[in-house]
Every structure is written in structure tokens, then in C-alpha cells.
């Protein structure tokens, strides 16, 4: 289940003077503390500030619910990130294996080809344990090679 995004206005920041120069210069810094936000124009040194005051946009119950939901989805988000990193690692190794095949003997090519088949099967099944094992196997077979194909 995907996390639900919650947008709550906490105040308005008037960049009328800063905005005119925005295309020419950059805002040097944006500083946030508990209730204060400020920004300073890099060229002119002009600073604008806003103090965030409590509003009636959200009740205490709504705030508590939003915090609980954020905590609930934190574990799911961490797992999704981990899964994506595992998949990215395997896809990178598959790409590298194509180049590695050009610089090895027939027996090593055969081993790499078998590992590539296993890796593609793991990607198709979307099984992170299979993907991790396949990545470890490919990494052991192809090692870290330089541009001449020599293992470093």
C-alpha cells in the first residue's frame, strides 16, 4: 500500500522583491528553525522571514494520525528502497557481464552465461533473495575489470 501524501499550508512566503531577480541571481540560503523560515538573496543580501504560527488547518487528532501513518509506512518505504537497490545492483552487474564475456575464455563465458540466465530469472520473479544471490554470483565471476578486461 502506498503512502498517502499530506500537504498542509503552514504559511505564505512573499518573495515579491526577491522573485524579480530570481532568474538573474540565486537565493543564497534558506534557513528553517522550529517556527521561523528565512531566505536571503545572494546578490543583494536582502532577507525575508516568516514566522509560522499554529493554524486551525489540522486538529491534534489529524496530526497524530499523520504521524502514525508516517511511522507505519516507514518500514514499507525502507523495504522498497532496499529492493530497488538490490535490483539496481543486479541490473548493473548484468550490464557489466556483457563486457566481461568479451575478455574471458570459453569456460568462463559458459559460467557467466549460466549466471546471467539465473539473474534474469530472479529479476522476472522479483525475488530479492534470488536477486541478491545472483548478484553475488555474477560479481564473483566477473570481478572488477578495467577497460582492457583485466581483473583488478
The Cβ of residue 111 has, within 10 Å, a number of other Cβ atoms equal to 16
Cα 5 from chain centroid (whole Å): 17
Predicted confidence pLDDT, tens digits, the chain (152 residues): 444 555 555 555 554 444 444 444 454 555 555 566 676 666 677 777 766 666 657 778 887 888 888 888 888 888 889 999 999 999 999 999 999 999 999 999 999 999 999 999 999 999 999 999 999 999 999 985 444 445 43
Query: Kind and range of the H or E element at 105?
Result: none
C-alpha 100/C-alpha 88 separation (Å) is: 18
Torsion sign, CA atoms 75, 78, 82, 87: positive
Amino acid at each position: 500500500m502506498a503512502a498517502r501524501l499530506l500537504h498542509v499550508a503552514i504559511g505564505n512566503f512573499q518573495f515579491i522583491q526577491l522573485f524579480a531577480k530570481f532568474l538573474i541571481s540565486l537565493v543564497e540560503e534558506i534557513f528553517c528553525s522550529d517556527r521561523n523560515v528565512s531566505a536571503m538573496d545572494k546578490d543583494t543580501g536582502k532577507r525575508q522571514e516568516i514566522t509560522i504560527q499554529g493554524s486551525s488547518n489540522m486538529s491534534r487528532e489529524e496530526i497524530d494520525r499523520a504521524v502514525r501513518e508516517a511511522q507505519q509506512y516507514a518500514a514499507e518505504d525502507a523495504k522498497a528502497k532496499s529492493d530497488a537497490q538490490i535490483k539496481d545492483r543486479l541490473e548493473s552487474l548484468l550490464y557489466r557481464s556483457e563486457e566481461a564475456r568479451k575478455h574471458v575464455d570459453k569456460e568462463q563465458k559458459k559460467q557467466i552465461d549460466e549466471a546471467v540466465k539465473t539473474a534474469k530469472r530472479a529479476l522476472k520473479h522479483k525475488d530479492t533473495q534470488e536477486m541478491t544471490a545472483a548478484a553475488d554470483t555474477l560479481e564473483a565471476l566477473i570481478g572488477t575489470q578495467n577497460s582492457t578486461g583485466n581483473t583488478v
